[in-house]
Structure 1
Amino acid sequence: MKVTAVCFTMLLLVFLLLATSVENRDAVFLIVPKRLQFFELESVFFHCEGLDAASQLKGIRNTEAFISACDESSPTLLCAIHRVYATDSGEYWCETAAGEKSISVNITITRGSVVLESPVVPVEEGNNVTLRCRNKTKTSNLTADFYKDGFLIGNSYTGEMSIHKVSRSDEGLYKCKISDTGESPESLLTVTALYRETCSSSCSAIHVFLMLRTVFTIVMVFLLLLLLGLLHF
């Protein structure tokens, strides 16, 4: 009876581990501030989606790691840093108690008068991207020049520039400049490969294979424990 109880307990633990791993695979870990560049004294809000209550906003500022307090009242954790300063610039991410991390986001806080609005997360190939140049004090009739990797790529009388059907060649460091006002810091635009259509069948097959392998492992563990129990008697 004692061996049977041990077998049952170990089998139950295997099932619990299986359930936990599936839950972690399906979780979505994101940090989404509305842009990557901010003026000093603005408030920056982070959303950690799909994380458990033990998740935290973490980051590295000036080579020093830190942990921010989050509002854990909902499945979407809201983290805020009020009245940011240039020293708050750095890399931020969400992390679970188990050590699983979200994508990281590099934000820049500037003392200047110009920031560039660009995508926070990587953009999928084929999508359109709009870059916006913002003046700290003026919101309309902005004449701006846009640069990629230090080279002028266009100008606009509206303060906006669109990139249609982005590709990997559009990746790079972007900034904008407003005459007689200043220029923004640089932000990295990342483009990801279009894979969803080609991945659908192969990814489904991989998922089925992983599930079958897990079930096979559970069955083999059960049979092994059962054999040990019979040998004991």
Structure 2
Amino acid sequence: MLSTLVYCSLGQGGVLSYPASLSVSPDRSQFFEYESVSLSCEVQGNSTGWRVVRNTSRGILSECNTDWGKQRGSSCTVSLTPSDSGVYWCESGSGEHSNAVNITVHDGAVILESPVLPVTEGDSVTLRCRYQETPSDHTAVFYKDGSLIRAETTGEMTIPAVSKSDEGLYKCTNSEGKSPESWMTVTDAGPSPIPSPAVPVLSMSLPRLLCSLLVGSSYLLVTIILLVKCCRSRTQGETRLPRKTHQDQLGDHVEEE
């Protein structure tokens, strides 16, 4: 329970943005006893000062290279025993941390191969029932949240496109035994990018384009010249009209009387 609380408080990977990420090789969350696993802190930039930290199912918080694992740079290699089950993450000297992963070490004959990191909606995911020894029958039965999903004669089950409804606790059973449960997290795919409007492409050749511009400019120039001439002619016509003198205006007035 304590390991689960730590796992949830640190985040289940991929949901939040972290300055570093913890990768697991082989990429699965369940392992047999005495298997070896490599844990690496992947940091953008300088990874100096980052170390692998864990909190076991017994509630023991410690760093790699203390009483477990072999630290090399920002990576840690562990030869697993059941007591190594717990939550693992990367931590820097300043207290920054990465995503957390939950690792289960099983001393039985069957484990479930499931993604150790969250999967994205729409991804194809394959769950496999892995056996420590070659079984007489590869048929495996898969369960989610304690409910039967289906049986597969190949020992593996594929979800072509996962959705949020596929998130939950998975396990498998076969004639050799049953695996522990592992939680599979499904994250949102995010909004689809808005396509940018198409940019019209000119199919006209360069010489033809220059010719069209030249003709258009000529028409515009001729139009401007005609407008200027018209305005000048009107102005000159108004200027040449004879103006009546004061005496002419008096004569007109007498004639009217």
The AA in structure 1 aligned to 2:177 is: G
Q: Does 1:81 align with 2:71?
A: no
Which of 157, 160, 177 is residue 156 of structure 2 equivalent to? 160
1:15-54 correspondence to structure 2 within 5 Å:
27-33=19-25, 34-50=27-43, 52-54=47-49
TM-score, normalised by the number of residues in structure 1: 0.68
Q: Does 1:195 align with 2:190?
A: yes
- State the distance in 2 between where 1:111 and 1:133 align: 15
Q: Does 1:133 align with 2:129?
A: yes
Sort the Cα spacing of 1:68 and 1:26 in 2 relative to 1 into closer, same or farther, 3 A.
Answer: closer
The AA in structure 1 aligned to 2:42 is: E
Q: Does 1:146 align with 2:138?
A: no
The AA in structure 2 aligned to 1:78 is: S
TM-score, normalised by the number of residues in structure 2: 0.62
- State the distance in 2 between where 1:114 and 1:150 align: 17
1:57 maps to 52
Q: Is the 2:110–2:129 contact (alpha carbons within 8 Å) kept by the matching residues of 1?
A: yes
- State the distance in 2 between where 1:57 and 1:143 align: 37
For 2:97, what is the secondary structure of its paired residue? coil
> Equivalent pairs: percent with the same residue?
46
Sort the Cα spacing of 1:169 and 1:199 in 2 relative to 1 into closer, same or farther, 3 A.
Answer: farther
- State the distance in 1 between where 2:177 and 2:51 align: 36
Which of 98, 109, 117 is residue 113 of structure 1 equivalent to? 109
Sort the Cα spacing of 1:200 and 1:178 in 2 relative to 1 into closer, same or farther, 3 A.
Answer: farther
Deviations 1:52-111 (Å, cap 9, x if unpaired)? Answer: 211000010111101003211xxxx321112x1111100000111121111100110111
The AA in structure 2 aligned to 1:161 is: M
Q: Is the 1:141–1:158 contact (alpha carbons within 8 Å) kept by the matching residues of 2?
A: no
Q: Is the 1:172–1:190 contact (alpha carbons within 8 Å) kept by the matching residues of 2?
A: yes
Q: Which has the larger radius of gyration?
A: 2
- State the distance in 2 between where 1:95 and 1:36 align: 20
- State the distance in 2 between where 1:58 and 1:37 align: 18
2:209 maps to none
Q: Does 1:71 align with 2:72?
A: yes
2:94 maps to 98
| Per-residue deviation, 1:32 | 2.3
Unmatched runs of 5 consecutive residues or more in structure 2: 1-16, 66-70, 197-257
Q: Is the 2:119–2:187 contact (alpha carbons within 8 Å) kept by the matching residues of 1?
A: yes
Q: Is the 2:19–2:98 contact (alpha carbons within 8 Å) kept by the matching residues of 1?
A: no
Sort the Cα spacing of 1:138 and 1:199 in 2 relative to 1 into closer, same or farther, 3 A.
Answer: farther
Structure (1/2) with the larger helix percentage: 1
